[in-house]
Structure 1
Amino acid sequence: MKKTHPYLPFAVSALLLWLVVCALYGWCQYAIDPDGTAYLTISARYASGDYLKAINGYWSPWGCWLTAGLMRAGCAAIPASLIINTIGATGYAGISQSLFLKFNMPRQLQWALHVALAVFLCSAVYWQSFDDIWECFFLLAALRIFLASGFIKSPALWVAAGITGALAYFSKAYAFPFFITGSACTIWLLSGKDRRLAVKAGAVTLLTFFICATPWLALLHYKYGIWTTATAGQLNMSWYLAGHPYYKSGIDLLIPAHYTDSPYYWEDPWYANGDTPHFWDSLHLAGLQALRLGLNAGKLALSLVQLSFFLPLAAWAAILWFKKQGGEPAVSGRMRVIALHLVLFPLGYALINYEARYLWYLVPLSMIALAETGVFKSRMVKNALPLSVLLAISYMIYPVYCIIKMKDEGKAEYRLAQELKKAGVHGSFTANAHPKYMARLAYFSGDQYYYLSDRAAGDSAILNEMKKYHIAHYYRFGEKTVNGEKNKRKDGAQPPVPVLFSLKTYIVSSQPAVTVYELYGN
């Protein structure tokens, strides 16, 4: 029988990915979250040449740079971001196939898992329109370079790994500490007894990484006045520790954006943030951090199961592979590298939070680990097809759920934005609805949204804050907001009716309706 091309499963998977992404565009095109509105705004700044504002410590630049390139070529922002994300997803699938081949994964299993990858990546493209997929692609590419034959003796591959690691950092800041730690441990494992060569390979790899990353570090220092790889880690750690942000002095009910042309303060939360407490500041905070670690252990388990209900088994196998059997390693050195990355990658999130998307890097690694457990290579298993299909299905369950969940997500905000424009409502606003929906509304309408941090606040307090920032409108939603979510306070009472707004009002005939109170005319 004539052998098929080794990358044929990837080619079919990539074709399926692009077809499904295109088919789902009408279903998911408005499903952008507050993170997405920030990334799209930054991309537009790069595209228009507004570079100083575009430099951002909270949101990584790689996806923005690529999206801006398509926008300058005439592509609309949302389609541009989806195209760029799908290119990253295609690269992710291609590197996965290279790793499958490196570990001699059974062909039948390759086909099954590539169907799963197509579904998973299609969901990922729409679920998170920036950073995560590209970070995973570059980290997987760096891992593949580490596993290349002769890596430990090839200076060219050392340099290539360092460059790829820097690109991963540009894609998402988490890659900075992980690449340093992961590459050092990986090179040490691969070097065998020649530790001097390991030190040399590691030094060249990391020096290349730092040289490539330094220009971006310098730009962040120029803008923020501090040396940092990103502002996201510091802010997120303090927010999850305290349970809420601490805003700067003078910021009370309404949280302003830093730039007058920004849709929402979330474009760069650094400027609104005040104190950033650490767990070592007090015994109380240390206790909170201990509780957070326990909570995050549960979130990690849930996130792993969401990726695949077999993934915890892969993680457990990875831990066991570090034990020696009869004085010898349980698996090959290359397989121990896979095990190392499976265990090491999630650890950096332990102090902050876990979501399934944070762990997308583990998907192909867990597939390889599960294929190596012996079940798919055992002579006792005469037909591995049912097991291959079951394993593939386990990686598709949560992505399919996410795709269904994204149906028409954001469409109500888009329609409301069009109705507001028709009604002549234009200008800055605040609202008694959840910020994730209002951020979307602000992006679609082109108006600036001031986040109301306490939706239980009284109308006089809201009015005073609106006067302070010269905010044009207050949007009051009734019992339900734009997505049908119940719009009630924690105590069950309705949000306050701003009776002091006795000026011009608009009743916008959306579903559900929203009353717009105008404080300052357009």
Structure 2
Amino acid sequence: MLKINTLAKSKIIFALFLVIYSILGAYFIRYYQYDTISRDLIVIISVAKLYAAVDISNAVNGYWGPFFPWILAPFILQNPAPQSVMYATKILSLITGFFTITGTIFLSYRFKMNEKIRISIIFPVIFVILYFALRYNPVDLLLTCFLIYYLYFIFNPSYSQNLYNSALCGTFAALAYLTKSYAFPFFIAHFIIMNSFYYLKSTANRKKVLKNLFLGLAVFFVISGAWSAVISEKYGYMTFGTSGKYNFEESGPLQHGSPIWNGLMKPPNDKSVSAWEDPSYFKMKSWNPLSSGKSFIYLLNLIANNFLKLIGYLQQFTYFSMIILVIYLSFLFKPLRKLISINGEQIYPILTIILFCAGYLIIFVEFRYFFIVYILIILMGGYLLNMLSKTRFLNKLGTFLLLLLFIISLIVVPLSSLVNNQYIGQDYYSMSNSINKYNVHGNIASNDKYRDSLNIAYYLNAHYYGRATNSTTKKPMTDMELEKSFKEYKIDYYFFWGNSNTNEDLLKKYKEITNGTINGLKIYKIR
């Protein structure tokens, strides 16, 4: 058992880590205050503005979870200016990161390791979380935060002894679901599997385990069911979220990507920045992998390609990832009786990772989807280092060098990214200020550069309808098609990027308002 003074020292050091994180966050936020990150964040802000305006019927959204828009709405009420709101997302992300680091410290005590190793592996978490907070969509970090606290309670060796453990599991899982709907199927599958292990592990506590199972599910369904009922009412069919269906169809053999990239699309309401605010309404081509051998082979290829991408992301995070995961996978190759009886820290994390990753493999994968996996890999690495330090294969110097290499591998990518990408997004903000001088507003379309146009439209408080390409041929619209689209969607301004002569004859009919003052961009006043 650890001495009190050792634990006290650890607490002081961990508190110092949180102070360091806060100072670094306050320093780096100035360099990332303009970063819109992705189209996702822009439309999530748009949803938050609807909540702030108490436009609930339009704010309720089956694709984007409501929790982040809810906590962002008070900032919008304070100052609705686009730049101020974007800055608020960074503040919320850094606050989320603070609680994520705190949760990671708590979760680390579910893994046996000496305090020196524990402190050592928590140190790089400062930079990892700072990187996640400032360079990625805050929703992904918020999901990770809630899942960390869920895992802290479900990994508790004394989980079955107290009903509050399961109640808190259900609560944090429900908050994760309100953040991102992927948490819904993940929690149900993971929670049942974990309780099954506890049930088989202890014959004396089986009744308590069953009570915990039902209580945790009850708490989860009460909270998540309320939101599910709301969105089901809006869309007219039973659903816990529309993102899974959309993403599965987008990744299918018939759809060939999102319709958002080609053709003009009307935003779902008069306050929306883009149609991307609610992809639930997109007309997608559905597919069934079991409908034919060809479709099933397509699914297998999709899974294989996504699996290879996932391995790449894991290696990008740290070159030790695959070594750690392979060792943990070896722990699973035991008869069921032995598997149930071994330490939970050897099987629970790897089962969690397998289950969490599995759902994404059938759609598509991105680095940001697996933040919780990266956190677990750090803690699993600490556990394995602790095991190695107790063997004859590694002396103190060897343990120190291996630990040092592990720490460096965790810090390199986050720190280099934070240093090398400063002021990202400021160009969009500066360009929007230049464009604002010409009183550009209302409905905007462009010939190209979807993301650039969307970012500028956000800062202009305008509505972006998309790129003027034919949705079938993926080629630029003809003059006739473009003019028809201008009228159909009541386009006010048309952004023409580059120097091509596409639609030159049509555009001569409209006034170019910038007189060439903006490099690489012409803006035509349509109405």
In the alignment, what sits opposite 2:212? 201
Structure 2 unaligned spans of 5+ = none
Q: Pick one of 278, 290, 301 that aligns with 1:268.
A: 278
Contact 1:505 1:516 in 2 (8 A): yes
For 1:331 and 1:290, how far apart are their aligned partners in 2?
33
**Deviation (angstroms), 1:11:** 2.0
For 1:80 and 1:323, how far apart are their aligned partners in 2?
48
In the alignment, what sits opposite 2:149? 141
**Deviation (angstroms), 1:281:** 4.1
Contact 1:246 1:275 in 2 (8 A): no
Pick closer, same or farther for the CA change 1:201–1:456 going to 2, 3 Å.
same
Contact 2:173 2:183 in 1 (8 A): yes
**Deviation (angstroms), 1:16:** 2.1
In the alignment, what sits opposite 1:321? 331
TM-score by length of 1: 0.90
In the alignment, what sits opposite 1:99? 107
Matches within 5 A, 1:301-312: 301-312=311-322
User: Residue type matched to 1:463 in 2?
Assistant: E
**Deviation (angstroms), 1:408:** 2.7
For 2:322 and 2:60, how far apart are their aligned partners in 1?
38
In the alignment, what sits opposite 1:456? 476
Q: Pick one of 237, 244, 256 that aligns with 1:244.
A: 256
In the alignment, what sits opposite 1:35? 40
User: Residue type matched to 1:52 in 2?
Assistant: S
Q: Pick one of 497, 506, 516 that aligns with 2:523.
A: 516
For 1:367 and 1:328, how far apart are their aligned partners in 2?
26
Contact 1:245 1:273 in 2 (8 A): no
In the alignment, what sits opposite 2:486? 466
User: Residue type matched to 2:478 in 1?
Assistant: G
Pick closer, same or farther for the CA change 1:103–1:444 going to 2, 3 Å.
same
Contact 2:65 2:180 in 1 (8 A): yes
In the alignment, what sits opposite 2:124? 116
Pick closer, same or farther for the CA change 1:459–1:145 going to 2, 3 Å.
same
- The Cα offsets for residues 7-37 of structure 1, whole Å up to 9 and x where unpaired, read as 3343222222222222122321121110010
Name the SS of the counterpart of 1:241 in structure 2: coil
Pick closer, same or farther for the CA change 1:107–1:228 going to 2, 3 Å.
same
In the alignment, what sits opposite 1:393? 408
For 1:70 and 1:268, how far apart are their aligned partners in 2?
22
In the alignment, what sits opposite 1:151? 159
In the alignment, what sits opposite 1:427? 442
- The Cα offsets for residues 48-102 of structure 1, whole Å up to 9 and x where unpaired, read as 2122211111111111111113333458312222222222211111111112233
2:373 is equivalent to residue 362 of structure 1: yes
Contact 1:109 1:385 in 2 (8 A): no
Contact 1:10 1:93 in 2 (8 A): no
For 1:110 and 1:91, how far apart are their aligned partners in 2?
18
Name the SS of the counterpart of 1:507 in structure 2: coil
* Identity between Structure 1 and Structure 2 (%): 21
2:87 is equivalent to residue 79 of structure 1: yes
User: Residue type matched to 1:179 in 2?
Assistant: F
Name the SS of the counterpart of 1:266 in structure 2: helix
Q: Which of the pair is proportionally richer in helix?
A: 2
2:53 is equivalent to residue 48 of structure 1: yes
Q: Pick one of 441, 448, 451 that aligns with 1:436.
A: 451
Pick closer, same or farther for the CA change 1:211–1:176 going to 2, 3 Å.
same
For 1:431 and 1:321, how far apart are their aligned partners in 2?
55
Contact 1:431 1:474 in 2 (8 A): yes
User: Residue type matched to 2:346 in 1?
Assistant: M
Matches within 5 A, 1:163-312: 163-191=171-199, 192-194=201-203, 195-242=206-253, 244-245=256-257, 253-312=263-322
Contact 2:34 2:423 in 1 (8 A): yes
- The Cα offsets for residues 237-268 of structure 1, whole Å up to 9 and x where unpaired, read as 111123535769xx983122111221111111
In the alignment, what sits opposite 1:382? 396
- The Cα offsets for residues 196-247 of structure 1, whole Å up to 9 and x where unpaired, read as 5433322221121111111101110121111111111110111112353576
In the alignment, what sits opposite 1:90? 98
In the alignment, what sits opposite 1:490? none
For 1:225 and 1:320, how far apart are their aligned partners in 2?
47
Structure 1 unaligned spans of 5+ = 480-493
TM-score by length of 2: 0.89
Pick closer, same or farther for the CA change 1:457–1:112 going to 2, 3 Å.
farther
In the alignment, what sits opposite 2:10? 6
**Deviation (angstroms), 1:403:** 2.6
**Deviation (angstroms), 1:149:** 4.5
In the alignment, what sits opposite 1:417? 432
2:364 is equivalent to residue 353 of structure 1: yes
For 1:495 and 1:92, how far apart are their aligned partners in 2?
51
Pick closer, same or farther for the CA change 1:426–1:361 going to 2, 3 Å.
same
Contact 1:315 1:343 in 2 (8 A): no
**Deviation (angstroms), 1:476:** 0.8
Contact 1:456 1:495 in 2 (8 A): no
Name the SS of the counterpart of 1:254 in structure 2: coil
**Deviation (angstroms), 1:510:** 5.8
In the alignment, what sits opposite 1:500? 506
**Deviation (angstroms), 1:407:** 2.7
- The Cα offsets for residues 271-324 of structure 1, whole Å up to 9 and x where unpaired, read as 233433332344443332222112111111111112211112222122111123
For 2:298 and 2:337, how far apart are their aligned partners in 1?
42
